Structure formats: C-alpha cells, structure tokens
Amino acid sequence: MDSKFSLNRTRRKRIGRISTDLERKPLRPDYSIIHDWIKNDSSVLDLGCHEGELLSLIVKKKNARAQGIEIDEKAIYKCVELGLSVSHQDIDNGLSEYGDESFDYVILNQSIQQVKKPDVVLKESLRVGKEVVVGFPNFAHYSSRFQIFFRGKTPVTSSLPYEWYETPNLHFLSISDFRDYCRKQNIRIRRMAFFSNDGMIVMTNIRANLLAQNGLFLISK
Amino acid sequence: MTGTIVLESLQNVKPVQSIGPLGIRFFTFASSPDELILDSGEKLGPITLAFETYGKLNAQRTNAILVLHALSGDAHAAGFYSGDDKSGWWDEMIGPGKAFDTDKYFVICSNVLGGCKGSTGPSSINPATKWPYGLDFPTITIKDMVKAQKHLIDHLGIEKLLCVVGGSMGGMQALQWAALYPKMVHSVIPIATTLKHSPQQIAFNEVGRQAIMSDPDWKGGNYYGGTPPSKGLAVAQMIGHITYMSDSSMSEKFGRRIKDGRIQSRFEAEFEVERYLHYHGDNFVKRFDANSYLYITKALDYFDLSNGKTLLEVFKGIRANFLIMAFKSDWLYPTYQSKEILKICKLAGIEATYCEINSTYGHDAFLLEIEEETHLVRHFLKKVFNGYAVAASDNG
C-alpha cells in the first residue's frame, strides 16, 4: 500500500489531495510524505507529536508500534483519546532512557527548530532510531529573503507564522544549512522532499532552498 | 485550539449517578497450617480481607479492575451505604458512566492487610490470646498486602486483572502487583507514587509515628479496651494532611483568615488552617486505629520495588501497559518519582503513557483532579480492554 503513494507517483500538483482516501480531510503534505516513507510494521518514536494526528495515522495505516513525546499537557489528552502511548516530557531530556536503535524511525517533524539543543537531539535521535525523519520550515525561502532584504524585518510567513516576540522557534535554519550539517557530521541523507505549505512539491533539489517553504529529510548514521 | 478540544471532550462526560446501596464482604484465608509467610519471615493467619465489588464480572472474566487504596483509605471506594450520606473515597471515579465504568468493568477494592476497616490488622483479635494483637501483630510490607490480595483475586476466580490502579500507597501496591504477578496484570495505573520511599517521606512518617507513641494513652500499643491515643493520632494525621496539600492550595483554601477576625485566645486554634487541621485530626481518630497507622506507615517506608535486584530485572517480565500520572504541585511524591517509573518502563520496552497534570492541589490532587483523570483513564482502559479482548480470543 505504501508504494502506491510514494513520491514518484505523487509528482503531481498537490500531494495533500492525493491521499484523501486515507482520511476524509486532505492530509497535511508533510504527514502524507512521512506516511509514505515509513515501512509497514515498524516501530516509531515521534518527538513533539502534538495531538498525535501523524502517529495515529501511522499506527492505523502502517500497523506501527508507536510512542510519542510531547510537552503540551492538552495535546497529551488528545493523544490518549486516540489510543496512543505518549510521554509528557521535554524532548531535550526525554531520550536518554531509550537504548540504541530501539526504534525503526524517530520523527522530528516541525520540532527541531524548537528544542534547546538541536545538535544533541539529532545525535540522540540517530542513536535511538535506525532512521530519523527531520522536517522544518525553510528560513531561506524567497518570501523570507524578500522580507529581510527589502523590508529589513524578521520574516513572518505561512511556514514561519510568528512574530519575533511570540515565536516558539528557537533556531532558524534553511534547507542548505541542514544539508551542510549532515555533510559535516557524516550523516547519510536517504530521502528528501521539498514542498510549500499547500502541498506543492518543489521538484528541483538545486533551487529547493529558494523555492520550498519546508524541507523533509530521512537520515541515518 | 487544543484547549477547546479537550474541554469539549471533557464536557461530553454525562452527569452520572453513584452506585446504589451496597455491602462490604469478607474473605478469610491462611488458616493454620497454611498461614501467610510474610516478608519479615513471620507467619500470619487466619487473615480476613474486607472488600467491595462494583459492576459485573463478564463471562470471559476479562473486565476485572483492582483498585488499591492509600494510607487512610478502605474497601469502600464507591457508592453509599444505606443510611449513610458519605460516598466511597473514589466515588467520583467509580460508577456507571464514570472513568471506571461499572457498566463495563468489574471493580474490586479491598482494605489492606494491617488496616482497621474490616481486614486483619493490629486491632484484630489474635486467635492465640483472644485479645487484639497490638504490637504482637507482625511487621508487614506492601508486598505482603499484595500477596494477601492475590488470595482474594484467586478466590474471585480471576486469572488476569484488566487493570491494577491506585494513588500514593495504592500506586505502590499497583507497581508491586505488576512486579510480583506479571502474568496476572494486563495494565497498571500508578498515580502520584514512587518506586521507593525517599528519606523525606520516611521522615514525615516517623514524626507521625512519634506523635502516636509519645501519647501516654498509647501504652506500648496495648490500649484496646481503654482510651486510645487519640491526641497522638490526631497530630500524626495533621502532619500528614499538611504534606498532602500545597502552599498555594492552602493559601487558596484558608488564606490568613482568623476566627472572629481578631487576636484573642492563647494558643487555641484561631486561624482557619489550624481549625481545619484540628477538625480533620479529630475526625480521623474516630475512624482509624493508631496501631494500624504505625504499621501501614512503616510498610510505606520499607517500600522499595527493586528489593535488592536492579529495576530492569524487576520490570523485565512485565508486559502490562502503563498509564502513569503525577501532579506538578505534589511535593510529597514529587513528579521526578513518577518520571523514574516512566524511565524504567522505557528501558524495559514497556508501553507507557505519562501525564503530569498541572494541578495546584498537591498530593491530594489524585482524589480531586477528577476531570483530567477521568479523561485519561477512560480512554486508556478502552485501549487496553480492546487489546485484552484481542489477546484473549487469540489464545482460544
């Protein structure tokens, strides 16, 4: 079933709409791609799992054994309602208990820019998981560049929707930054996907840093 | 946005009634020569456990939940006795349509070994002397309480409990159940509890015990038939009560309100908080035996689940699913102790959910944060009950 929705087949306009048969409402583009990447019957740890939407999708459709870590108490109630196992914890501290490679996948989707020590969390994730999914808003998207360059202001965009004084994002990184990081740390990039918030896929790797609002990577040691 | 979702789902909880009048039952076992061998090596028997049940055991016997009470609790967890207007100690959680839904589940609660509410304890008659045991009662541990409950569960014909659940000392029993009888436990809900008693917890208990033992009416524990050490026990309960609350819950509840609003008496209880502690202390002595307080607090202090092994060894055999709850303002059983439980679950590869409820009630929160607990317990039980049903049908 997973191959049917793989990236090759989704070289169309909006990935969000392609997977509508999975759920009644269109899937978030990142959820759709991550869902396609995860193999059946795998074990998954989602760091910053929010209300468990992605995890519960993976549990239902991929028969995954799943665990979440989430800092927001209200989101915990929602996760438990969905039947998920979730720890009410800080990602910065919640990983040391897990043994090496205790999960097939560790997911860090839209959370790496919010942790205190991204480097430590990434390394811990690569220790705990055989593969790690990392998704983040691309700070070098042209709309951000435009706002900095012409308006001289900290960018507020649809993927970075916060004013400087209220943002939960502690770190700002671009797709190029992340690829550099992986190269320097000898981290293997297994898959990549670049897309806008409405699910438009950016086909070219070269200009992704300029054209994509979001980057999604599957990495391993 | 998440807030409204949670609130809506909490509001969907229908107003529910309590269980109607019901009765306490008794189960006696370990008669000579089959006495229960205790952790201390001493033998005890016969042993009677007082217990209550709510709901119906299903034909497959897969819906039984054992609720375990805290230090001053008893078997009367839910409902009302006829002619009594005070409900069981966890009535808001147990009943038709409640978290432990008695329309679906069969709920059991028994008074602990060493207690004074119908189960064998230091105030029970020693068959050898025909007089209450007093300090002839052997030292008991949490493990001994659990071993005794195991006899009751066997007697009720239940091979595997859907869930063992309790707060504080009840949580220790729940953990001990999972460690001692891993094959009999499908899920565990430890609330505001710990893997071992800390020096601070032991220290508070010791002050309570000293208050009882320094009361001249205590008489080395042999006060039965005479005046009980009520003053000592009341002071012990007052100390306990302080540790169950928090700075902010006390401020909110009492403030600095003072009787008649002025300075007057010489060391009478004037402040509202003083009057409250006196009132509860005086009430407690009417319903609790001082020697039981000594024995049970000591059992708490002895509690260390690892018991000479590593925790990983203890948890290795456990397959149960865990729902761990702690409360931010609980300084008697601080959240780090619940996080230790979560940590060992993760290390042992046990599926666990942990929620730290943002409550200001202190340790008492486990009896008060009903909405949050109900939401978590209801959905957790639904999940584990489905899992249990699948496993049961797989096996035959």
Given a cut of 80, is residue A26 above it in pLDDT? no
B82 pLDDT tier (thresholds 50, 70, 90): confident
Check CB contact under 8 Å for A88 and B354.
Answer: yes
**Does residue B4 sit within a domain?**
no
**Does residue B139 sit within a domain?**
yes
**Min distance B376 CA to chain A CA atoms (Å):** 6
Q: What is the mean pLDDT of residues B277-292?
A: 96
Q: Is residue B49 within 8 Å of B109, Cβ to Cβ?
A: no
Instruction: From chain B, pick out residues whose CB is under 8 angstroms from the CB of A74.
Output: 2-3, 5-6
Indicate the residue of B5, B342, B383 with minimum beta-carbon distance to A87: B342
pLDDT of residue A24: 55
Looking at the complex, does the CB of residue B355 fall below 8 Å from at least one CB of chain A? yes
**Min distance B370 CA to chain A CA atoms (Å):** 14
Q: What is the pTM of this model?
A: 0.91
Instruction: From chain B, pick out residues whose CB is under 8 angstroms from the CB of A100.
Output: none
Check CB contact under 8 Å for B355 and A73.
Answer: yes
Check CB contact under 8 Å for A85 and B339.
Answer: no
Which residue in A45, A53, A79, A88 has the most chain B C-beta atoms within 10 A of its own C-beta, making it the best mutation to test that interface?
A88
Interface of A with B (CB under 8 A): 51, 67, 72-81, 83-89, 97-99, 102
Q: Which CATH architecture has domain A2-220?
A: 3-Layer(aba) Sandwich (3.40)
* % of chain B surpassing 90 pLDDT: 86
Looking at the complex, does the CB of residue B346 fall below 8 Å from at least one CB of chain A? yes
Q: Say if residue B103 is in the same domain as residue B86.
A: yes
SS3 string of chain A? Answer: CHHHHCCCCCCCCEHHHHHHHCCCCCCCHHHHHHHHHCCCCCEEEEECCCCCHHHHHHHHHHCCEEEEEECCHHHHHHHHHCCCEEEECCCCCCCCCCCCCCEEEEEEECCHHHCCCHHHHHHHHHHHEEEEEEEEECCCCHHHHHHHHHHCCCCCCCCCCCCCCCCCCCCCCCHHHHHHHHHHCCCEEEEEEEECCCCEECCCCCCHHHHCCEEEEEEEC
- CA B9/CA B14 separation, integer angstroms: 11
Q: Say if residue B15 is in the same domain as residue B156.
A: yes
**Does residue B3 sit within a domain?**
no
The string of pLDDT tens digits covering residues A183-217 is 999 999 999 999 998 888 887 778 999 999 999 99
Range of the domain at B254: 204-297
Task: Enumerate the β-bridge partners of residue A220.
Answer: A188
Q: Say if residue B33 is in the same domain as residue B143.
A: yes
**Does residue B349 sit within a domain?**
yes
How many structural domains are present in chain B?
2
Q: Is residue B75 within 8 Å of B52, Cβ to Cβ?
A: yes
Given a cut of 90, is residue B149 above it in pLDDT? yes
Q: Say if residue B185 is in the same domain as residue B128.
A: yes
pLDDT of residue B182: 97
**Min distance A77 CA to chain B CA atoms (Å):** 6
User: Which of A156, A154, A118 lies closest to A134 in space, CA to CA?
Assistant: A118
H-run or E-run covering B176: helix B169-180
- CA B312/CA B306 separation, integer angstroms: 9
Q: Domain boundary at B232, B266, B297, which?
A: B297
Indicate the residue of A78, A86, A89 with minimum beta-carbon distance to B5: A78
Which pair of structure tokens corresponds to residue A27? Answer: 């899937």
What is the ipTM score, two decimals?
0.88
**Does residue B1 sit within a domain?**
no
Looking at the complex, does the CB of residue B382 fall below 8 Å from at least one CB of chain A? yes
- CA B384/CA A85 separation, integer angstroms: 11
Average pLDDT, chain A: 88
Q: Say if residue B363 is in the same domain as residue B214.
A: no
Check CB contact under 8 Å for A88 and B5.
Answer: no
Check CB contact under 8 Å for A97 and B347.
Answer: yes
Q: Domain boundary at B260, B277, B297, which?
A: B297
Residue of B nearest to A68 (CA): B353
pLDDT of residue A5: 33
Check CB contact under 8 Å for A75 and B2.
Answer: yes
Looking at the complex, does the CB of residue B339 fall below 8 Å from at least one CB of chain A? yes
Check CB contact under 8 Å for A97 and B379.
Answer: no
Instruction: From chain B, pick out residues whose CB is under 8 angstroms from the CB of A90.
Output: none
Check CB contact under 8 Å for B380 and A84.
Answer: no
pLDDT of residue B265: 73
Given a cut of 70, is residue B14 above it in pLDDT? no
**Does residue B67 sit within a domain?**
yes
Given a cut of 60, is residue B260 above it in pLDDT? yes
Q: Say if residue B74 is in the same domain as residue B220.
A: no
Q: What is the mean pLDDT of residues B101-121?
A: 97
Given a cut of 60, is residue B372 above it in pLDDT? yes
- CA B323/CA B342 separation, integer angstroms: 9
- CA B325/CA B373 separation, integer angstroms: 8
Q: Say if residue B166 is in the same domain as residue B293.
A: no
Looking at the complex, does the CB of residue B234 fall below 8 Å from at least one CB of chain A? no
Position B76, amino acid:
H
The string of pLDDT tens digits covering residues B113-129 is 999 999 999 999 999 99
Q: Say if residue B191 is in the same domain as residue B208.
A: no
Given a cut of 60, is residue A3 above it in pLDDT? no
Q: Say if residue B188 is in the same domain as residue B331.
A: yes
Given a cut of 70, is residue A19 above it in pLDDT? no
B392 pLDDT tier (thresholds 50, 70, 90): low
The string of pLDDT tens digits covering residues B303-343 is 999 989 999 999 999 999 999 999 999 999 999 999 999 99
- CA A103/CA A45 separation, integer angstroms: 7
Active site residues of B: 168, 330, 363
Q: Is residue A37 within 8 Å of A15, Cβ to Cβ?
A: no
Given a cut of 50, is residue A21 above it in pLDDT? no
Q: Domain boundary at B268, B297, B326, which?
A: B297
Phi, psi at A115, each rounded to 5°: -85, 160
Looking up residue B369, the CATH number of its domain turns out to be: 3.40.50.1820
Instruction: From chain A, pick out residues whose CB is under 8 angstroms from the CB of B357.
Output: 73
Check CB contact under 8 Å for A83 and B383.
Answer: yes
- CA A74/CA A27 separation, integer angstroms: 22
Looking at the complex, does the CB of residue B379 fall below 8 Å from at least one CB of chain A? yes
